[in-house]
Amino acid sequence: MESEYSIQVKNAEKYFKIYKDKGKELKERILFRSRNRYEKHKVLNGVSFDIKKGETVGLIGRNGCGKSTTLKLLTKILRPNSGEIIVNGRISSLIELGAGFHPDMTGRENIYINASIFGLSRGDVNKRLDKIIEFSELGEYIDNPVRTYSSGMYMRLGFSVAINVDAQVLLVDEILAVGDVNFQKKCFDRLNQVKKDGTTIVIVSHDMEQLYRLCDRLIWLEKGDIVEDGEARIVGEHYLESMERERLSR
């Protein structure tokens, strides 16, 4: 029986090893084993949540709370130290600007490389190429090396590829904060269309009004734990009230 969920996260825990004085060479590591001691920096403390197919969910919380780490676990860039993460369907992600781009290749060449990462064949890309270039608004710059691009141009190309691969799950991290106002609106409108088409979207953003307009739910993370998971505006208002109380107490 097909699952009604696009994403299932079950008791996911993630930590990173922080070495205080790690030997760089094998000889140093053998002779000075005591220098290889590390501390575990916990980022996620066994979080669990489900996201239904077609739902749009926002992850909120202060910097360092585990939002971006959660997205990277969903894309399998990172693996959880314990727990289970199940994602059903093709994933498209826009987490870091220019991730997967080769700086010495042109924008056009990078479209093929980036789209192949998302599982598209060259024939599939050929069918979408004009649409991707048109959406990016890069015009004649599409045949320039991407190392000559501004951060805004990187974002436009990356977003254009990610939004046109017909993914079942789209993961977005703060990407709408970059670029000019007109392109931001264009991206937002496209996300709304993708949502109407039934794509599951998980988005990280600090723009609460944007999240209210786009998301069905918000998940509020704090120090690696879920504080609240529910209707977007209700959770968002609770989060903002908490931030304001903290500001006043300081």
Whole-number Å distance between alpha carbons of 205 and 59: 7
Query: What fold is seen in the domain 5-19+40-249?
Result: Rossmann fold (3.40.50)
Write the pLDDT tens digit of every residue in 145-200. 999 998 888 888 888 888 888 889 999 887 666 567 788 888 888 889 999 999 99
Instruction: Tell me whether strands 5-19 and 82-87 are parallel, antiparallel or unpaired.
Output: antiparallel
Structure pTM?
0.84
What does the pLDDT read at residue 31? 56
User: Does residue 7 surpass a pLDDT of 80?
Assistant: yes
Q: What is the DSSP string of 121-145?
A: -HHHHHHHHHHHHHHHT-GGGGGSB
Identify which of 7, 43, 3 has the alpha carbon closest to the alpha carbon of residue 203.
7
Identity of the residue numbered 94: L
User: Does residue 99 surpass a pLDDT of 80?
Assistant: no
* Residue scoring higher pLDDT (250 or 14): 14
Mean pLDDT, range 36-40, rounded to an integer: 72
Residue 5 and residue 51 in contact, taking contact as beta carbons nearer than 8 Å:
yes
